[in-house]
Amino acid sequence: MPVCPCGRTTAKGQALNMDACCGPYHAGQAAPDPESLMRSRYSAFVLGDVLYLLATWHTSQRPAELMLEAGAKWLGLQIKQHHLRDEDSAEVEFVARFRLGGKATRLHERSRFVREQGCWFYVDGDML
Ligand SMILES: [Zn+2]
């Protein structure tokens, strides 16, 4: 099993494998919290899993289709902070880095998440 691209580690700092991290969410299990959903969406970007990205996008903001940058090489995810606004809504601030056409880019976003019928969804985000 490959190491999960989201970079989550155990308390001891060991990298988690896909099957112990984002893999089950990609396979249909509901992510238990907004940070896990955020991480699994990052992993889906790395793996090119467009269907997962759309499925975890709240219907109010979900694009009709999604084209991923074919040449993007994802370099890592850093969760800066996450907090619940109330029981069913949350914000996660993250930095994702990728290289495209030889140029390193840093995506810094504060994302909004909501929970409906037990499932967390990405809504939208503000670039920081
Ligand atoms: Zn992961």
Number of domains in the chain: 1
Ligand 1 centroid vs 1 CA: distance in angstroms? 12
Residues with a beta carbon under 5 angstroms from ion ligand 1: 4, 6, 8, 21-22, 39, 43
- Give the pLDDT confidence score for residue 69 in this predicted structure: 85
Ligand 1 centroid vs 116 CA: distance in angstroms? 22
Ligand 1 centroid vs 92 CA: distance in angstroms? 15
In a domain, 103, yes or no: yes
**25 in Cβ contact with 31 (< 8 Å):** yes
Ligand 1 centroid vs 127 CA: distance in angstroms? 23
**Domain range for 57:** 18-127
In a domain, 69, yes or no: yes
- CATH number of the domain that residue 34 is part of: 3.10.450.50
In a domain, 84, yes or no: yes
pLDDT (tens place) for every residue of the chain, 128 residues total:
799 999 999 999 999 999 999 999 999 999 999 999 999 999 999 999 999 999 999 999 999 999 998 889 999 999 999 999 999 999 999 999 999 989 999 999 999 999 999 999 999 999 99
**124 in Cβ contact with 109 (< 8 Å):** no
In a domain, 82, yes or no: yes
In a domain, 4, yes or no: no
- Give the pLDDT confidence score for residue 50 in this predicted structure: 97
Ligand 1 centroid vs 75 CA: distance in angstroms? 14
- Give the pLDDT confidence score for residue 1 in this predicted structure: 77
- Give the pLDDT confidence score for residue 88 in this predicted structure: 97
